[in-house]
């Protein structure tokens, strides 16, 4: 069992880190405050091949694997968690929905734009009355001749206002409930499809999250991805991949906050000595360091399981649970350790704490993750 | 045994018909060395339309002034200038060829070094006389150690010297006019390198590693507005603005301005550290500065351990007063 | 990014040389040369080969990083002992380059950072190439076989027409970093990087290190605590003037 990242992966990790430090770090506080997404930076990442990491080149990807992708999300999230989730949603939730179920023709049509980083992708599953109970969707897709007509409202869609491509789940057979859910590709600007309220959030404020409104939105039947009625399965599979992305995001947030705290503890002096000399703080950091390292191996393992063709649903759920809890815990402690300064925007950790909170909630709340994990335990 | 008999040959650099500041510094340094070594100093002035520069050069405390003037020598071409220097070298046989380190001289020095097959040492920070001839002192490639270098073969050496190593103030102009020698220039037909155009423009971003004076701000500046004031101070001192990493993260400054472990290493004549705590990551990048002056409100800030002059005080109060006093001073002259 | 050759113009062959400097806990690498090469490659068909002189592991790493950024291939000239005379170093580069086909030779510009400006210019001159330093920008020239170079002097910029083959010491552009790309990284870890051992034993240098001394640790100077604002400003100005800076 080799726990070392090979040279090439280390090079990739270092390259993303360099980009994140030089390009994403400046202005991250301002973007959070103004709730502004740096689309040009995302596109720049794409132009260098860093978007689309886990996907094949024929679909516009970079021919890497899921661990490469997790490493990239991690490095980005150390600096800018909003960019981290935006990237993850486009790749795992939108990308994962399409790649697992579409025909070759559809993949070649709907993926290259997003995997090359030229445009963003978004995922439309959640509704006001369908959160954890994703099967409780009421958005419908009525077949009319050679078209489907979509009606309904999706909410909390990351990248909504900015994406060109959407993976939307709607009921083709409303009477069957979850078993009547189907997956569709919808393009921005389709008549009858509009962006609704843009959310004003506690954290990941630079990421754009909004409602998707469908009012007699007509899409061609070629926009159906996979089979009717199999939508719920496709959504769950996409979420499995997405959980690895969110876990990597949480890991990155935790590491980013940890490093800020570590440096602070070495330079801040009180009572004539740097505060890390206080055993309580040093011991606390030792505990957090262990927590982060445990989380790291959870997400790297889940990513490798997926890359190497092993079942990854449970590993992904575990990684998501552990990494996002680590993110919340480490950032909260970091704010406390930085004292009054930790409360101030310019020290970053308060933003990281606000960013961490949602990671415990989206893409399956941590309670859902426990449901998934315990569900497998008692068979 | 090496001796100094050949004396020192100095490349005098003129810009827009004025002898450059660094050339005057080189003459000052060479004069002192020549006195110690008991040898002669020859200056070489190459260019086009240099009446004023020649006039200044004739008042310098040098023994001989070689002038090579021609219409085609106004381009600072290293190959042409090195050919002139080679001619002078063969006539005079100096023990040391001295050039001030500039964008022009380093090309000339390298070219001359290969023509004459003599060693070339760049970026010297001092020159001494010793048993093995002229001894050149410069930081090694790591920048952490100073080396004393001498000729391996006993032959003469070519060196470029950092600005500010010798002082123009030490220059004593002389009543005795040096011997004037005119060297003709023979143009060549084949031109591998040709100057097409000269554009006088200010760079878009400042290269802090070349600045003689750096006004550097840290987190203690407090705000983007306050940081912006540093430009005024830098202009008054003829320098550039630099900063610590904290200012990059705060968005007050951009990457190229950062000094430190993850930024640039600088060695200006003056480094003004304002509101910089002096953490090791920053100090690593500027401890080689000739003069460090620091202002910080925290008396325990580590910057004071490396500053030649430290002021414990409030920058918001001191900065405007400093600017005002400097403006008044400029007004006087 | 594979350059496609056009029938109207052949691919420009660029070689970048860099010498590494071993520090206490790291290695100083100069990327200004390879960055200049990549900027030129963005404007015209070019093939970039990087030649790095240093210890094996670090030099291979620099070649890989260069290819990740956009170079096409690289070679390592193995330098086992740390410091050699810049004359010997330049000779080693020029001996290697004598057998190489190239249109443009590039190096970095800063002596202290990685000792390349001296070495680069000396090598260029040893090869009899028209050489220029402090080159900020390079473009293809008006006629084939010509390059247009922008030389940044202290007070002006010179636009030069230079016949290939030639040598430039390039200035870095910290405001426009060149990042490693995923295709670049893939290439860097799949190409073969030859390592050539240098035999420098009979080489005689020109410079001898007599001795070296550690730069004196900076000591705490004068520190004034109870001084008035006016007094502080005055003290600062007087100190600056006393050091001949004003």
pLDDT digits (tens, 9 = 90+) for C51-62: 999 999 999 999
Instruction: Summarize pLDDT for B22-44 with one digit per residue, the tens.
Output: 999 999 999 999 999 999 999 99
Query: Distance (Å, rounded) from C-alpha A282 to C-alpha A302?
Result: 31
| pLDDT given at position C83 | 66
Letter string b/e over residues A99-120, b meaning 16 or more CB atoms within 10 A of that residue's CB: bbbbeeebbebbbbbbbbbebb
Asked if omega into A53 is within 30° of 0 (cis), the reply is no
- B144 touching A (Cβ < 8 Å): no
Instruction: Summarize pLDDT for A84-102 with one digit per residue, the tens.
Output: 999 999 999 999 999 999 9
| pLDDT given at position C9 | 59
Domains and CATH numbers, chain C: 12-197 (3.40.50.620)
pLDDT for residue B182 is more than 80: yes
- Provide, as residue numbers in chain A, all residues whose Cβ is less than 8 Å from the Cβ of B251: 26-27, 29-30
pLDDT for residue C7 is more than 70: no
Pick the residue with more confidence: C126 or B246? C126
- Provide, as residue numbers in chain A, all residues whose Cβ is less than 8 Å from the Cβ of C185: 8, 11-12, 15
- Provide, as residue numbers in chain B, all residues whose Cβ is less than 8 Å from the Cβ of C166: 192-193
Is A275 inside any structural domain?
Answer: yes
Residue A187, Cβ density class (10 Å: 0-12 exposed, 13-18 middle, ≥19 buried): middle
Query: Distance (Å, rounded) from C-alpha A38 to C-alpha B166?
Result: 50
Binning pLDDT at 50, 70 and 90, where does residue B115 land? very high
- Provide, as residue numbers in chain A, all residues whose Cβ is less than 8 Å from the Cβ of B255: 22, 26
Of A115, A135, A162, the domain-final residue: A115
Non-local (6+) Cβ contacts of B311 within 8 A are B293, B294, B295, B296, B318, C223, C224, C227, C232, C235, C236
Tell me: do A364 and A294 sit in the same domain.
Answer: yes
Residue A80, Cβ density class (10 Å: 0-12 exposed, 13-18 middle, ≥19 buried): buried
Is A1 inside any structural domain?
Answer: no
Contact between chains at A25 and B249 (C-beta distance less than 8 A) = yes
Residues C87, C90, C96, C98, CA torsion sign: negative
Query: Distance (Å, rounded) from C-alpha B279 to C-alpha B300?
Result: 12
Contact in structure between C110 and C117 (CB atoms under 8 Å): yes
Pairing of strands B96-100, B14-15: unpaired
Tokens of C194: 């030859």
| pLDDT given at position B52 | 93
Tell me: do A255 and A320 sit in the same domain.
Answer: yes
Minimal C-alpha gap between C185 and chain A (Å): 7
Q: Which helix (H) or strand (E) holds B294?
A: strand B291-296
- Provide, as residue numbers in chain A, all residues whose Cβ is less than 8 Å from the Cβ of B300: 269
Tell me: do A109 and A14 sit in the same domain.
Answer: yes
Residues A350, A356, A361, A367, CA torsion sign: negative
Say what percent of chain C tops pLDDT 70. Answer: 92
Alpha-carbon distance values, A267 to A172, B280, C93 (Å): 61, 10, 45
Q: Among A3-7, B158-162, C215-219, name the one with the lowest average pLDDT.
A: C215-219
How many CB pairs below 8 Å do chains B and C form together?
A: 267
Tell me: do A189 and A292 sit in the same domain.
Answer: no
Helix (H, G, I), strand (E, B) or coil at A92: helix
Non-local (6+) Cβ contacts of A325 within 8 A are A250, A360, A366
Contact between chains at C156 and B201 (C-beta distance less than 8 A) = yes
Contact in structure between A254 and A77 (CB atoms under 8 Å): no
In chain A, the residue whose alpha carbon lies closest to the alpha carbon of B219 is A346
Q: Quick count: other Cβ atoms within 10 Å of Cβ A10?
A: 12
Alpha-carbon distance values, B184 to B15, B73, B105 (Å): 21, 11, 21
Is A256 inside any structural domain?
Answer: yes
Tell me: do A339 and A241 sit in the same domain.
Answer: yes
Residue A164, Cβ density class (10 Å: 0-12 exposed, 13-18 middle, ≥19 buried): middle
Closest CA to A123 of A99, A147, A148, A149: A99
Tell me: do A48 and A143 sit in the same domain.
Answer: no
Say what percent of chain C tops pLDDT 90. Answer: 61
Letter string b/e over residues B170-189, b meaning 16 or more CB atoms within 10 A of that residue's CB: ebeeeeeebeeeeeebeeee
In chain C, the residue whose alpha carbon lies closest to the alpha carbon of A7 is C189
Domain range enclosing A56: 7-115
| pLDDT given at position A280 | 98
| pLDDT given at position A50 | 96
Of A68, A86, A115, the domain-final residue: A115
Is A2 inside any structural domain?
Answer: no
Tell me: do A218 and A238 sit in the same domain.
Answer: no
Contact between chains at C181 and A63 (C-beta distance less than 8 A) = no
pLDDT for residue B133 is more than 80: yes
Query: Distance (Å, rounded) from C-alpha B294 to C-alpha C51?
Result: 43
Pairing of strands B270-274, B213-217: parallel
Q: Quick count: other Cβ atoms within 10 Å of Cβ B6?
A: 19
Of A182, A210, A229, the domain-final residue: A229
Pairing of strands B157-161, A140-144: unpaired
Closest CA to A40 of A56, A59, A27: A27
Report the CATH number at residue A75. 1.10.540.10
Instruction: Summarize pLDDT for A28-87 with one digit per residue, the tens.
Output: 999 999 999 999 999 999 999 999 999 999 999 999 999 999 999 999 999 999 999 999
Residue C210, Cβ density class (10 Å: 0-12 exposed, 13-18 middle, ≥19 buried): middle
H helix intervals, chain A = 7-19, 28-34, 39-47, 66-79, 81-88, 96-101, 104-110, 112-115, 231-267, 279-307, 313-337, 339-342, 349-359, 366-377
Contact between chains at B251 and A26 (C-beta distance less than 8 A) = yes
User: What does the H/E/C string look like for A247-306?
Assistant: HHHHHHHHHHHHHHHHHHHHHCEECCEEHHHCHHHHHHHHHHHHHHHHHHHHHHHHHHHH
| pLDDT given at position C125 | 96
Tell me: do A154 and A208 sit in the same domain.
Answer: yes
Tell me: do A271 and A306 sit in the same domain.
Answer: yes
Contact between chains at B198 and C23 (C-beta distance less than 8 A) = no
Contact between chains at C180 and A8 (C-beta distance less than 8 A) = no
Contact in structure between B62 and B27 (CB atoms under 8 Å): yes
Q: How many CA atoms lie within 13 A of A241 on its CB side?
A: 29
pLDDT for residue A223 is more than 90: yes
Tell me: do A107 and A128 sit in the same domain.
Answer: no
Non-local (6+) Cβ contacts of B320 within 8 A are B229
Provide the mean pLDDT of chain A.
Answer: 96
pLDDT for residue A258 is more than 90: yes
Q: Catalytic annotation on A269?
A: no
Contact between chains at C182 and A50 (C-beta distance less than 8 A) = yes
In sequence order, the β-bridge partners of residue C131 are C167
Binning pLDDT at 50, 70 and 90, where does residue B1 land? very low
Contact in structure between C208 and B156 (CB atoms under 8 Å): no
Over residues A1-11, mean pLDDT: 93
Query: Distance (Å, rounded) from C-alpha A351 to C-alpha A80?
Result: 10
Q: Quick count: other Cβ atoms within 10 Å of Cβ A311?
A: 11
- Provide, as residue numbers in chain C, all residues whose Cβ is less than 8 Å from the Cβ of A50: 181-182
Helix (H, G, I), strand (E, B) or coil at A218: strand
Tell me: do A335 and A244 sit in the same domain.
Answer: yes
pLDDT for residue B138 is more than 80: yes
Instruction: Summarize pLDDT for C135-151 with one digit per residue, the tens.
Output: 999 999 888 899 999 99
Contact in structure between A378 and A316 (CB atoms under 8 Å): no
Q: Indicate the number of domains in chain A.
A: 3
Tokens of B214: 């750096």
Binning pLDDT at 50, 70 and 90, where does residue C212 land? confident
Query: Catalytic pick from A142, A228, A363, A367?
Result: A363
Over residues A305-314, mean pLDDT: 97
- A62 touching C (Cβ < 8 Å): yes
| pLDDT given at position B205 | 61
Closest CA to B157 of B135, B129, B128: B135
pLDDT for residue B71 is more than 70: yes
- A63 touching C (Cβ < 8 Å): yes
Binning pLDDT at 50, 70 and 90, where does residue B333 land? very low
Minimal C-alpha gap between A79 and chain B (Å): 11
Minimal C-alpha gap between C173 and chain B (Å): 9
Q: Tell me what ipTM this predicted complex has.
A: 0.89
Q: Which helix (H) or strand (E) holds A121?
A: strand A121-124
Report the CATH number at residue A166. 2.40.110.10
Over residues B298-304, mean pLDDT: 90
Closest CA to B214 of B121, B282, B316, B149: B282
Give the C-side interface with A, CB within 8 Å. Answer: 64-65, 68, 177, 179-183, 185-186, 188-189
Domains and CATH numbers, chain B: 8-182 (3.40.50.620), 213-332 (3.40.50.1220)
Instruction: Summarize pLDDT for A157-192 with one digit per residue, the tens.
Output: 999 999 999 999 999 999 999 999 999 999 999 999
Binning pLDDT at 50, 70 and 90, where does residue C105 land? very high
Tell me: do A27 and A134 sit in the same domain.
Answer: no
- Provide, as residue numbers in chain A, all residues whose Cβ is less than 8 Å from the Cβ of C64: 11
Q: How many CA atoms lie within 13 A of C238 on its CB side?
A: 7
- A50 touching C (Cβ < 8 Å): yes
Contact in structure between C166 and C131 (CB atoms under 8 Å): yes
Contact between chains at A8 and C179 (C-beta distance less than 8 A) = no
Q: Which of B103, B152, B304 sits opposite C223 (nearest CB)?
A: B304
Contact between chains at B321 and C232 (C-beta distance less than 8 A) = yes
Closest CA to B115 of A331, C131, A228, A377: C131
Contact between chains at A11 and C183 (C-beta distance less than 8 A) = no
Q: Whole-model pTM?
A: 0.88
- B249 touching A (Cβ < 8 Å): yes
- Provide, as residue numbers in chain A, all residues whose Cβ is less than 8 Å from the Cβ of C188: 11
Report the CATH number at residue A264. 1.20.140.10
Q: Which helix (H) or strand (E) holds C16?
A: strand C12-19
- Orientation angle between helical segments B105-116 and C116-126, nearest 10 degrees: 50
Query: Distance (Å, rounded) from C-alpha A123 to C-alpha A114?
Result: 13
Contact in structure between A249 and A73 (CB atoms under 8 Å): yes
Contact between chains at C175 and B167 (C-beta distance less than 8 A) = no
Non-local (6+) Cβ contacts of A362 within 8 A are A156, A158, A246
Residues in chain A: 379
């Amino acid at each position: 069992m080799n726990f070392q990242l090979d040279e090439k992966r280390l090079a990739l990790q270092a390259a993303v880190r360099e980009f994140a430090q030089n390009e994403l770090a400046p202005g991250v506080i301002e973007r959070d405050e103004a709730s502004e997404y740096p689309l040009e930076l995302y596109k720049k990442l794409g132009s260098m091949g860093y978007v689309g990491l886990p996907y094949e080149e024929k679909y516009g990807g970079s021919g890497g694997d899921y661990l490469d992708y997790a490493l990239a999300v991690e490095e980005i999230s150390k600096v800018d968690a909003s960019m981290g989730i935006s990237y993850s949603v486009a790749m795992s939730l939108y990308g994962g929905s399409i790649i697992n179920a579409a025909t070759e023709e559809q993949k070649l049509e709907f993926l290259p734009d997003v995997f090359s980083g030229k445009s963003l992708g978004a995922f439309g599953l959640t509704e006001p009355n369908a959160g954890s109970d994703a099967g409780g969707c009421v958005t419908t897709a009525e077949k009319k001749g050679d078209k489907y007509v979509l009606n309904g409202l999706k909410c909390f869609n990351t990248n909504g206002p900015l994406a060109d491509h959407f993976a939307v789940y709607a009921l083709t057979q409303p009477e069957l409930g979850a078993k009547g859910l189907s997956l569709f590709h919808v393009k921005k600007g389709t008549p009858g499809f509009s962006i609704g309220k843009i959310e004003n959030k506690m954290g990941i404020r630079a990421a754009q999250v909004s409602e998707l409104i469908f009012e007699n939105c007509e899409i061609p039947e070629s926009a159906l991805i996979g089979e009717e009625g199999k939508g719920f399965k496709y959504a769950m599979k996409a979420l499995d991949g997405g959980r690895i992305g969110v876990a990597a995001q949480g890991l990155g947030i935790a590491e980013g906050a940890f490093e800020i705290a570590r440096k602070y503890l070495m330079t801040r002096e009180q009572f004539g000595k740097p505060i890390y000399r206080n055993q309580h703080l040093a011991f606390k950091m030792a505990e957090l360091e262990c927590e982060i390292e445990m989380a790291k191996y959870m997400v790297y393992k889940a990513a490798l399981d997926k890359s190497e063709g092993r079942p990854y649903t449970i590993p992904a759920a575990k990684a998501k649970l552990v990494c996002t809890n680590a993110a919340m815990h480490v950032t909260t402690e970091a704010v406390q350790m930085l004292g009054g300064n930790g409360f101030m925007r310019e020290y970053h950790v308060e933003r990281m704490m606000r960013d961490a909170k949602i990671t415990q909630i989206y893409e399956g709340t941590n309670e859902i993750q426990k449901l998934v994990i315990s569900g497998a335990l008692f068979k | 045994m090496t001796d100094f008999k050949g004396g020192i040959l100095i490349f005098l650099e003129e810009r827009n018909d004025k002898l450059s500041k660094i050339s005057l510094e080189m003459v000052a340094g060479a004069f002192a060395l020549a006195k110690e070594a008991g040898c002669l100093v020859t200056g070489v002035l190459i260019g086009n339309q240099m009446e004023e520069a020649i006039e200044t050069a004739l008042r310098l405390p040098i023994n001989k002034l070689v002038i090579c003037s021609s219409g085609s020598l106004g381009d600072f071409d290293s190959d042409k200038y090195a050919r002139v220097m080679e001619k002078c070298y063969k006539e005079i046989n100096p023990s040391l060829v001295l050039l001030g380190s500039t964008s022009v001289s380093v090309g000339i020095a390298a070219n001359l070094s290969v023509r004459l097959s003599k060693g070339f040492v760049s970026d010297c920070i001092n020159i001494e006389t010793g048993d093995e001839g002229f001894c050149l002192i410069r930081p090694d490639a790591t920048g952490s150690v100073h080396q004393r270098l001498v000729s391996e073969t006993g032959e003469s050496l070519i060196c470029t010297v950092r600005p500010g190593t010798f002082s123009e103030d030490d220059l004593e102009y002389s009543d005795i006019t040096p011997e004037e020698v005119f060297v003709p220039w023979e143009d060549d037909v084949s031109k591998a390198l040709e100057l097409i155009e000269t554009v006088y423009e200010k760079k878009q971003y400042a290269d802090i590693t070349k600045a003689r004076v750096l006004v550097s701000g840290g987190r203690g500046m407090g705000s983007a507005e306050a940081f912006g004031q540093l430009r005024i101070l830098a202009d008054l001192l003829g320098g550039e603005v630099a900063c610590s990493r904290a200012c990059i993260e705060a968005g007050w400054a951009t990457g190229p301005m950062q000094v430190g472990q993850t930024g640039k290493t600088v060695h200006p004549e003056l480094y003004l550290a304002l509101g910089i705590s002096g953490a090791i990551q920053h100090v690593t990048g500027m401890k080689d500065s000739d003069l460090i002056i620091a202002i910080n409100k925290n008396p325990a800030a580590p910057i004071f351990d490396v500053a030649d002059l430290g002021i414990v005080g409030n920058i918001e109060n001191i900065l405007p007063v400093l600017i005002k006093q400097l403006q008044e001073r400029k007004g006087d002259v | 990014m594979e350059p496609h050759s056009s029938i109207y113009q052949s691919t420009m062959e660029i070689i970048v040389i860099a010498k590494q400097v071993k520090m206490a806990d790291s290695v100083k690498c100069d990327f200004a040369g390879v960055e200049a090469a990549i900027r030129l490659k963005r404007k015209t068909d070019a093939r970039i080969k990087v030649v790095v002189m240093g210890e094996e592991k670090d030099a291979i790493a620099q070649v890989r990083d260069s290819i990740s950024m956009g170079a096409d291939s690289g070679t390592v000239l193995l330098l086992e002992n740390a410091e050699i005379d810049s004359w010997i170093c330049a000779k080693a580069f020029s001996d290697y380059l004598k057998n190489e086909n190239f249109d443009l030779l590039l190096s970095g510009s800063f002596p202290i950072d990685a000792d390349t400006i001296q070495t680069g210019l000396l090598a260029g001159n040893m090869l009899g190439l028209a050489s220029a330093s402090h080159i900020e920008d390079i473009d293809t020239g008006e006629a084939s076989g010509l390059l247009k170079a922008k030389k940044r002097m202290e007070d002006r910029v010179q636009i030069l027409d230079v016949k290939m083959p030639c040598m430039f010491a390039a200035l870095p552009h910290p405001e426009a970093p060149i990042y490693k790309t995923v295709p670049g990284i893939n290439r860097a870890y799949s190409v073969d990087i030859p390592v050539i051992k240098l035999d420098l034993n009979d080489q005689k240098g020109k410079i001898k290190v007599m001795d070296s001394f550690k730069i004196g640790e900076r000591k705490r100077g004068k520190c004034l605590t109870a001084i008035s604002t006016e007094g502080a400003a005055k003290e600062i100005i007087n100190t600056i003037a006393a050091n001949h800076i004003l």
